[in-house]
Structure 1
Amino acid sequence: MNRRSFLAGALAAPMIATARAQDAPKPDAPPPPPDLFAENAPFSREALDETARLLSTRPYEAPASQLPNGYADLAQDVFRSIRTAPGRSIWAQDNRGVTVDLLPGGWIYRSPVRVSLIEDGKVRPAPNDASWFDFGRAPPPPADRPFPFSGISASAAIDAQGALREFAQFQGGAIFRALARGQVFGASARGLAIDTGEPNGEEFPLFRALWVERPQAAANTLEVYALLDSRRVTGAYRLTLRPGEITVVDVEFTLFPREELGHVGVAPMTSTFYFGPNDRAGVDDVRGRAHRSEGLQIWNGGGEWIWRPLSNPTELQISVFTDRNPRGFGLLQRQRAFPAYNDLNRRYDRMPSAWVEPIGDWDEGQFQLLEIPTESDVNENIYCYWRPKAPLKPGERFSRAYRLHWCWTPPDRPAGAVCAGTYCGAAGGRRRRFVVDFAGDAVADPNRAAQIRPMVSATVGQIRDPQGRHNPEIKGYRVTFDLDPGNEELSELRMVLEADGKPVSETWLYRWTA
């Protein structure tokens, strides 16, 4: 494959402006990236890094849709009827422990993704044709034209019965998600966030190409490499997936900015919070809750555990938590009882918690949490990520690594009591009544309840009638108090349980708004 054909077609979309074949290259033109798409080309992480670096030296060009006529307008249910054709799952007959399916383009997935396999260290491109799919209720595309992919999914014998089941997806922008044994898909992760919540608008990077390495026999591990591209940055990613009781995704990446980036989100996650017992104003619904995640958990560099219940605000809310070298953070789903949700279709009670464990030195920065108003539980309206303090400079490499756990309960958890529920309701006038339950060994003994003191404070307004008592129904501790905001419209609440002058619980934070 020559330079011109590679640059024009390697990513199944134009990536840079290329000269006509008869034009001589300029002496100072940067060399083309290594050809990681040619049949039998050697693949390495170093080669992928160099591809991303050289790509960052060239102007960005958005990918052009290669969808057949009408496929960008497919209804969701019609698009979902497209399935992998019989016998086309990759490595299904090789006893590898993991199989891979290609995902079709169409509906909202309009940017093509180039997919290649890595076998014995060599690249084997997946041909872009329609033979990979059974098109169900969708009109069959023209047989004489390439058919684009939108990503990949992976399956493994993740449940007790041993049948293969989908446990991970890479589809849509730089989005990926996973689940653990017995779960259904819920929260999502992204490769990178740029200018999220900024007035100038968010920039959405894309995984333009994926390379999937053939796993060792019965290894139950999958290696996925990705090339990220957007207007101001490129990146090389390596993701190692290990499905199981906790599905672990190890993420290593290196970024190469085209321009200075002042607002970058590392290890970003997205989820949905429509309503819950702490925030259901204006909701008339047979369900008790509707959310993929109920709170943000932070284990900061100073060793403090923070729990921040999520909400569905009337206006965009951005919360910032400054830190250095964080130990962990994630969007958690703690309530696991089906009656709390009463939803047999979405099964929020079975959706995973997503927990990030930073690896190495992450320096100074801040956690950012965005809560966006939503009128349904269809749209993702919750965003969280780590924002480095120092901007990313063009021409400089930026590398980080982290371990992402998709789980029922994160492997890291507070030593003290944790928040088991936050409830909020009217208390007369502008007052709001809060009930917060804590559970754990530190508060399980009813004889110790008299020694526990709830330390509650508010940035504005007055805390009225704080009371704490043993809660025998959960073998925990319940705190009840009223917030009298006066004429204020916003107040930041904070609470921690103490005994003998020392904290015995995580720190509960809550933002009340009128």
Structure 2
Amino acid sequence: MAQEADAVPAVAEAEGQAPAGQEFSFDLLTQWMRERSAQPYTAPVSELPANIADLNYDDYRHIQFRAQQARWREENSQFHVHAFHPGWLYSELVDIFEVQDGVAQPMGFSTDDFQYYGHLADVFAEGEALPGAVGFRLNNPLNRLDVFDELIAFVGASYFRALGRGNFYGLSARGLAINTGIGSSEEFPRFSQFYLEKPQPGQRNVIVHAALDSQSVTGAFRFDIRPGEETVIDVTARLFFRAAVEQVGVAPMTSMFLYAENNRSNFDDYRPQVHDSNGLLVLRDGGDVLWRALNNPPRLASSYLSESNPRGFGLIQRDRDFGDYQDPEARYERRPSLMIEPIGDWGPGNVRLVEIPSDLEVNDNIVAFWVPEQKVSAGEEREYHYRMRWGDISPEPEAELAYVYETRTGLGGVSGVENAPDLRKFVVDFRGGLLAGLAGDQEDIEALFTVTGGEVAGSVLKKVSDDTWRLVLDVELNGATTVELVAHVAGFGRKLTETWLYQWMLEA
């Protein structure tokens, strides 16, 4: 087990006897973490034996949990528990408990639970108890009744990721983000203990509890996980702050955006696009919908979208055709989107988007989260409830607002002639909604736009297909190195499209 000073109460175990068990409930976990927050933070110490501490990247890839050793496999359960082996980058052990009838028992793991390939078969002896696990995953018959596929995985700090039906793993979520992208040192709270409620036979949901700890905060988390076409997770986060925090990021998510039609010229690659997500979607309290097209900027970029009690926000993968990517291995068209839907009144704050320059698709360079307006003080307690939806999350076909189908950029001006070097063209396609049914010569609609840091040298709005309208903006720099663009189409006294936002950042 992971060793931590003054940790959450451990399950009692008398010498030579089976574990006696520990009473457990979410309210008890809440009280433990409240008490823990009054004590100084102690970093986890995990003493790993040499055969685990010496594992490298190639070694770790040759270790696999045996499916036949899955916990709950013999219980006619809809969920199977697999552990993640310690080693390589994963050295911080976590405690994993099974909860049944209000009593928590530790889940122990040994070398018999894992398959060791190649030379590792001689490194690990049979029946050797492992010092612990570094996380776990839950498998479920998500796609076929006769196959238990990976549904959700918790491993590393407070990171976790889930799948809807037909998805491949892509973006991740976190329990909490502390001081992300503000210049000072970022803090990474970690889930140190997990309590898994054993489901009844045939039960379609599973409950996972987690204890969170870091220098500034402790927390008790409850995840109610319901797999399906969209996998839905209801989250309760109870937070206890040891110290004042400059920036708290609630419901954070992390993704990857390398390139698409807006910056493809920067990459010499046969694939048209490479990204796990291509936009930040915000559902405003009044019904407006914002679409912030993602970018891979030349330097660290931040966007703050001021909101009061938003209905939802998330990182979305809208391009869902194989031809959009032409990558038969990565299958970016099957990466899940993730929407956060606040439950209750979150009050005023900002949806913050952080974009980090990246040259490689292995780097997660996109972060989004909610920043409450009210600063956190030492000794404060906060509670947040929200719903997570993991899946395709495509635009509603019956929605009245047309959605942003594509964002393209290129050299500004007229094609075929030499144009000013500080002129840039932005092409936004809006698809569907009531707008799709209007004739191309309709005179009662117009494009409304604002540009901060530049000036619009020309604009055109026209219908280009049965269901798509295109807005073209030529934007000229006025000395700024960052230009903010906002646009939508309106008519008949109402908005007809989502509001498109974009940040054009030049080399400093």
Q: TM-score w.r.t. structure 2 length?
A: 0.91
Q: From 414, 423, 446, give the equivalent of 1:431.
A: 423
Q: Which residue of 2 aligns with 1:164?
A: 148
What's the RMSD between the two structures over aligned residues? 2.0
Deviates more, 1:232-241 or 1:118-127: 118-127
Match of 2:62 in 1: 81
Equivalent in the alignment of 1:364: 348
8 Å CA contact retained: 2:318, 2:394: no
The Cα of 1:128 is off from its aligned counterpart by: 4.4
- How much does 1:37 deviate? 6.4
User: In structure 1, the residue corresponding to 2:60 is in which secondary structure?
Assistant: helix
Q: Does 1:491 align with 2:483?
A: yes
**Aligned residues of 1:367 and 1:384 also touching (Cα < 8 A):** yes
Q: Is 1:13 aligned to residue 13 of structure 2?
A: no
Deviation, structure 1 residue 232 = 1.1
CA contact (8 A) 1:288 1:342 kept: yes
Amino acid in structure 1 at the alignment position of 2:231: T
2 CA distance for matches of 1:392 and 1:36? 33
Query: What per-residue deviation string (whole Å, max 9, x for no partner) do you get for residues 217-255 of structure 1?
Result: 111211100000001111000001111101001110111
Partner of 1:173: 157
Give percent identity, aligned residues only: 35
Q: 1:455 — aligned with what?
A: 448
Q: Is 1:406 matched up with 2:390?
A: yes
SS in 2 for 1:158: strand
Q: Which moved more, 1:388-397 or 1:245-254?
A: 388-397
Change (3 A) 1:209 1:331: same
2:493 is aligned with 1:501: yes
Indicate if the aligned counterparts of 2:281 and 2:314 stay in contact, CA closer than 8 A.
yes
Alignment of 1:247 onto 2:240: no
Q: Unaligned regions of 5+ residues in structure 2, if any?
A: 14-18, 413-418
After TM superposition, give the deviation of residue 487 of structure 1 in Å. 3.0
Q: Distance in 1 between matches of 2:433 and 2:441?
A: 12
Contact 1:141–1:147 (CA under 8 A) maintained in structure 2: no
After TM superposition, the structure 1 = structure 2 runs for residues 279-428 of structure 1, keeping only pairs within 5 Å, are 279-409=263-393, 415-427=400-412, 428=419
Contact 1:358 1:403 in 2 (8 A): yes
1:292 aligned partner, one-letter code: D
Within a 5 Å distance, the mapping from 1:119-134 to structure 2 comes to 119-134=100-115
Question: In structure 1, what is the Cα distance between the partners aligned to 2:67 and 2:156?
Answer: 24
Counterparts of 1:324 and 1:342 in 2: how far apart (Å)? 40
Residue 145 of structure 1: CA displacement? 5.7
Matched position secondary structure for 2:457: strand
| Residues 129-181 of structure 1 deviation map (CA, whole Å, 9 limit, x = unaligned) | 33321122473446656333111101111114542100110011000110100
- In the other structure, the counterpart of 1:136 is 117
Which whole-Å CA distance do the structure 1 matches of 2:132 and 2:187 have between them? Answer: 23
Structure 1 unmatched ranges of 5 or more: 1-10, 17-31
Amino acid at match of 2:95: R
Q: Deviations over 1:246-286 (max 9, x none)?
A: 10011101111111123100000000011111123421111
Per the alignment, residue 415 of structure 2 pairs with none
Kindly tell me: are residues 441 and 41 of structure 1, through their superposed partners in 2, closer, same or farther at Cα, counting changes over 3 Å? Answer: same
Q: Is the 8 A contact 2:252 2:368 kept in 1?
A: yes
2:36 counterpart (44, 51, 55): 55
1:465 aligns to what? 458
1:444 match: 436
Go from structure 1 to structure 2 and tell me whether the alpha carbon gap of 1:411 and 1:46 turns closer, same or farther (over 3 Å shift): farther
Tell me how far apart the structure 1 counterparts of residues 376 and 118 of structure 2 sit (CA, whole Å): 46
CA drift of 1:62 comes to 1.0
Which amino acid is the alignment partner of residue 85 of structure 1?
R
**Is the 2:217–2:242 Cα contact (8 Å) retained in structure 1?**
yes
Deviation for aligned residue 1:66: 3.1
Structure-2 change in CA distance of 1:45 and 1:449 (3 Å): farther
Q: For 1:78, what is the secondary structure of its paired residue?
A: helix
CA contact (8 A) 2:264 2:272 kept: no
Residues in 1 aligned to 2:367 and 2:12: alpha-carbon distance in whole angstroms = 34
AA paired with 2:453?
V
Flag the 1:296–1:36 CA change in 2: closer, same or farther, 3 A: farther
1:478 and 1:367, CA in 2 relative to 1: closer, same or farther beyond 3 A?
same
Q: Which moved more, 1:294-303 or 1:405-414?
A: 405-414
How far off its partner does 1:198 sit?
2.2
Equivalent position SS for 2:233: strand
Opposite residue 492 of structure 2, the aligned amino acid is D
In the alignment, which residue of structure 1 is the partner of 2:16? Answer: none
1:435 touches 1:480 (CA, 8 Å); kept in 2? Answer: yes
How big is the shift at 1:57?
1.4
Given residue 424 of structure 1, which amino acid in structure 2 is its aligned partner? T
Q: Deviations over 1:267-315 (max 9, x none)?
A: 0000001111112342111111111000000112333211001111110
1:343 aligns to what SS in structure 2? coil
Residues 357, 291 of structure 1: CA spacing in aligned structure 2 closer, same or farther, 3 A cutoff?
A: same
Partner Cα distance (2:97, 2:143) in 1? 28
| Deviating more after overlay: 434-443 vs 381-390 | 434-443
